[in-house]
Amino acid sequence: MLLKVKTIDIVTGKKSVLLNEKDAKALDVRVHDRVSISKGGKTTVALVEITHTFVNPGEVGVFRDLVDDLSIVEGEELEVAPTRTPSSVLYIRKKMRGGSLSRDEIYSIVRDVVNHALSELELAAFLLAEEYLGMSMEETEHLTRAMAETGAMLDFGELVVDKHSIGGVPGNKVSLLIVPIVAAAGLKIPKTSSRAITSPAGTADTMEVLAPVEFSAEEVKRIVRRVGGCIVWGGALNIAPADDIFIRVEYPLGIDPRPQMLASILAKKLAVGAKVVVLDIPTGREAKVETMEEARQLAQEFVELGRRLGINIRCGITYGGQPVGYAVGPALEAREALEALHGKGPLSLIEKSVALAGLLMEEARTVPRGSGSQVARDILQSGKALSKMKEIIEAQGGNPEITPDEIPVGNKHIVITSPIDGYITSISNYAIRSIARAAGAPVDKGAGVLLHVKAGHVVKKDQPIMEIFAERSVKLAEAQSLFYTLKPVVIEGMLLDEFPSY
Alpha-carbon distance of 189 to 172, in angstroms, equals: 18
Helix axes of 137-149 and 241-253: crossing angle, nearest 10 degrees: 120
DSSP β-ladder status, 327-328 and 448-451: antiparallel
User: Same domain, yes or no, for 200 and 301?
Assistant: yes
- For residue 52, the domain's CATH number is 2.40.40.20
43 with 179, same domain: the answer is no
106, part of any domain: yes
- CA dist., res. 94 & res. 107, Å (int): 14
Any domain includes 218: yes
User: How much is the pLDDT for 495?
Assistant: 60
Q: Which residues contact 41 (CB under 8 A, 6 or more apart)?
A: none
The mean pLDDT value of the chain amounts to 94
- pLDDT at position 69 over 80: no
Domain termination residue (choose one: 404, 435, 465):
404
pLDDT tens-digit readout, 205-250: 999 999 999 999 999 999 999 999 999 998 888 899 999 899 889 8
Provide the Cα torsion 339, 191, 256, 325; round to 10°.
Answer: -10
Whether residue 149 is contained in a domain is answered as no
Strand 42-51 relative to strand 16-20, pairing: parallel
Whether 254 has a pLDDT exceeding 80, the answer reads yes
The Cα 264–Cα 249 span in angstroms is 14
Q: How far is CA 450 from CA 77, 435, 476, 488, in A?
A: 58, 11, 13, 12
Q: Is residue 216 within 8 Å of residue 237, measured between CB atoms?
A: yes
Q: Which strands sit side by side in the sheet containing 489-491, from one edge to the other?
A: 458-459, 422-427, 489-491
| pTM given for the model | 0.89
Give the pLDDT mean for 75-94.
93
Whether the CB-CB separation of 259 and 130 falls below 8 Å is answered with: yes
Report d(CA 104, CA 64) in Å as an integer.
31
pLDDT at 7: 92
| Domain-located, residue 254 | no
CA–CA distance, 333 with 206 (Å, rounded to integer):
7
Domain boundary among 38, 65, 82: 82
Region 388-408: mean pLDDT is 97
Asked if 256 is an active-site residue, the reply is yes
Q: Which residues pair with residue 237 across a beta bridge?
A: none
User: Which residue did the predictor score with more confidence, 253 or 429?
Assistant: 429
Residue from 188, 162, 180 nearest 379 by CA: 180
Contact call for residues 204 and 381 (beta carbons, < 8 A): no
pLDDT at 498 over 80: no
The pLDDT of residue 494: 63
What pLDDT sits at residue 501?
61
Task: List Cα–Cα distances, 393 to 223, 311, 383, 389, 402, in angstroms.
Answer: 10, 28, 15, 6, 10
At 437, which CATH number? 3.90.1170.30
Count CB neighbours of 386 within 10 A: 20
Q: Is residue 247 part of a domain?
A: no
Give tens-digit pLDDT for 322-343.
999 999 999 999 999 999 999 9
Q: Which of 112, 243, 256, 444 is catalytic?
A: 256
CB atoms within 10 A of CB 291: 12
* Residues 337 and 407: beta-carbon distance below 8 Å: no
Does one domain contain both 389 and 310? yes
Residues 400 and 212: their CA atoms lie apart, in Å, by 12
pLDDT at 84 over 70: yes
- Is residue 246 domain-resident? no
- In total, how many domains does the chain have? 4
pLDDT tens for 440-486 read 999 999 999 999 999 999 999 999 999 999 999 999 999 999 999 99
Q: Same domain, yes or no, for 336 and 435?
A: no
Please choose, from the candidates 430, 434, 494, 497, the residue with its C-alpha nearest in 3D space to the C-alpha of residue 465: 494
Helix axes 292-309, 137-149, angle to 10 degrees: 60
Same domain, 111 and 27: no
Do residue 52 and residue 112 come from a single domain?
Answer: no
Alpha-carbon span 313 to 361, nearest angstrom: 12
- Rounded Cα gap, residues 268 and 396, in angstroms: 20
Question: Residue 496's pLDDT is what?
Answer: 65
If asked whether residues 188 and 39 sit together in one domain, one would say: no
Exposure of 125 in the CB half-sphere (CA atoms within 13 A): 18
List, for residues 165-194, the tens digit of each pLDDT value.
998 899 999 999 999 999 999 999 999 988
- Compute the CA torsion angle 335, 486, 291, 282 (nearest 10 deg): -10
- pLDDT of residue 356 exceeding 80, the answer is yes
Note the pLDDT of residue 497.
Answer: 67
- The stretch 159-164 carries a mean pLDDT of 96
Full domain range(s) for residue 477? 408-491
pLDDT per residue over 104-126, tens digit each?
A: 999 999 999 998 888 889 999 99
In-domain check, residue 146:
no
CATH number at residue 99: 1.20.970.10
Contact 259, 135 (CB under 8 A): yes
What confidence score (pLDDT) does residue 68 get?
78
Residues β-bridged to residue 233: 193
The per-residue pLDDT for range 278-322, each reduced to its tens digit, is: 999 999 999 999 999 999 999 999 999 999 999 999 999 999 999
Same structural domain for residues 466 and 343? no
Distance CA 192, CA 204 (A): 8
Secondary structure E strands in 221-346: 229-233, 276-283, 312-319, 327-328
Same domain? For 416 and 374 the reply is no
345 and 477, same domain (yes or no)? no
Residues 207 and 313 in one domain: yes
Residues 27 and 91 in one domain: no
DSSP-H helix ranges across 196-240: 203-207, 217-227
Asked, for residue 32, whether it belongs to a domain, the answer is: yes
What confidence tens digit (pLDDT) does each residue in 196-212 have?
877 899 999 999 999 99
Instruction: Tell whether the model's pLDDT for residue 426 goes beyond 90.
Output: yes
Whether the predicted pLDDT of 423 surpasses 70:
yes
Contact (Cβ atoms closer than 8 angstroms) between residue 8 and residue 49: no
Q: What are the φ and ψ backbone dihedral angles of 77, each rounded to 5 degrees?
A: -100, 140
Point out the domain boundary residue: 371, 389, 404.
Answer: 404
Domain CATH number, residue 293: 3.40.1030.10
